[in-house]
A and B are shown apart, each in its own frame.
Chain A
Amino acid sequence: MFWLGKSIITKDGKKTGVSPIEYIIMAHLRSRERRNVDQAPVGQYGYELIKELNSLFEGSWVAKSGTIYPLLTKMDNDKDLLKAEKKKSPLGPIKKIYTLTEDGRHLIDSIIRENFDADKAFIDKYLALLNVFEPYINKKEDIVEDSSYLSDEKPRISNSKTKSKKKKPQGKESERFCPNCGENIQEISKFCIFCGAETSFTNERN
């Protein structure tokens, strides 16, 4: 499956060393070549490449220039999958054109050939999964609408990584008791999780 993980893997589990975004960039450039007259190699101006990626992923992902340009440079200098050439535009100014190298072309063709059926099958299954929701979304029934789940400012689902970094108090420190019901609360909170009374912590049970 092409959009998960650090590196694209083939159906046999072989790692290709190509990240999902790199894969998308290469597939996009390769599809342009395939569509071109006589399938002749053709590059693309970086600005336009980003614009077309944004059009492809509209509503689900934003290809930012700060993400894409460093990747293009890496694919040119380190991985030799792309070739960045400075070319004079019809208006005069020189701009960088990104074209697949022979290696890049062979690699993307191999990955697509290898994963084509599996990817298509996955997309069909994913569509079937989404289709289950369609009637509910259209009727606006049974779907809990709460925009706070999608809020940027204060997301309801916190990042588990940052949560796990918090050190839990060790030993006796972790024993905190509610002054009202006497239950062991353990975590620092303003209200008791058992009776709801306001807490002023004590390390001794009532």
Chain B
Amino acid sequence: MPNILLLFLVPFISALIVLLYPSKNKKLLKVFSTSLSVIPLFVLLYIHAEWIATGNEQFVKYEWFKLINIEFYLAIDPLSLLFVYLACIIVPMSLLSARRELIHNTNTFYALVLLLQGLLIGFFTSRDLAFFTFFWEAMLIPLYFIINEWGGPHRHRAALTFLLYMILGSALMVIAVLALYFASANNGSMGTFNLDELQGVAGAMPYAAWMCAAFLLAFAVKTPLFPFHAWLPDAYFQATTPGTILLSGILSKAGIYGVLRITLALFPAIMAEFSPWLLSLAIAGVLYGAFAAWKQNDFKKVLAYSSFSHVNFVLVGLFLMNETAQAGGILQALNHGITITALFLVASWLEQRIGFTNLGRLSGLSLYFPMLCWLTLFFVLSNVALPGLNNFVGEFLIFYGLFAYSPWLTALLGISIILSVVYMLHWMHSIYFNDPSPPHGIWSDIKAKQLLIALPLVILILWVGIYPTPILDHIKPAVNKLVAYNQVEQP
């Protein structure tokens, strides 16, 4: 079996196994499903090694619906590789973050997360627009249930809002996919969904600007770009920690990947035209998210808005039609996935200990949870882009690109860095420092197990922060490809 097919199928098989796994032992089930969710990472490492050794991109291609020219076409190029890595890392982390006492119907929950992993891998690797759409829509199903069945008291409302936003956002995209297909049929041949073939021709099609806008709308809702974020606070807040991690860590990246894979690759000229508008929306989103995070009195909401602010920062990088900034944007997408996962993880450990997520009710907890406090501080510093940590590299590249475009905008966006320091440290300060609250009998600090869970994230953060070259080397070909399309488009 080709390795990519294996990579794609493993999560589905795992999901089925977990669903049918007869044990009622929640602990065993968690360990079991987490180990299953790591398998794709090893498969991917193997594929990557093989790729480096042979120098050939890997792909699988099967006829699927020949009469309308749909192929089951999965391929891994540098861009896919990075996002698939992220999917392979974030999903096990989200499973590890699950608190056993909060998860009823354990088998179903783990199976849904594994199913989502499979769909994500399919989404990040598919090169056929029909399958791209297929996975894009299919992801909603497990996510809807993950939000709807497990989480806070208003989870039903949050899940429904989420679903409605997603469906409305992507309804036009489906039409754009069909329009692309039919427009490509005009030149006498059968229409095509093959992204490689569409790449050269899509931008010149009639109504290409409308198609591009329809795609952008779908991706903007999912990422979410300001002002399409109304579903976000509720969904992030009401979902359980694994759900929140999946939404913020990897689902927002699906939108970002869509921007890269579809709009920037298929319609570069149109994107260049849209660029000022999109940039202003994204910058507005960064600042809005930052201010909103500052004003929250609940640390889960602080993180939700911080995440919103940072994904918009990523979009700033992508919407600048500039090589460096786009490289920064891609890197920042990975960084954000890692950092926000880590932050929600430590926040959930804190919530587990104190039992609520409000700010201002307790303070000075560093006295009781020194380890958790230091770990949180580390991730907070990563989030505020301390030099030497991962976010610094990405944000620096984006600033670099933005400066060439407009120094004034750079100054404006620079405010967000200050704001992020303000709101993140506000959280740290009010809950961990300040005058210590009276102790509570059963409070206990995190143990070696939790440190071990956080360790991969710490390593990744330090690695990207200190020595980002290997990752940037992978981003460069991806960006070069985008730039190459730009040049084909505008001779």
Is B truly associated with A?
no
Binding site for A on B (CB under 8 A): none
Binding site for B on A (CB under 8 A): none
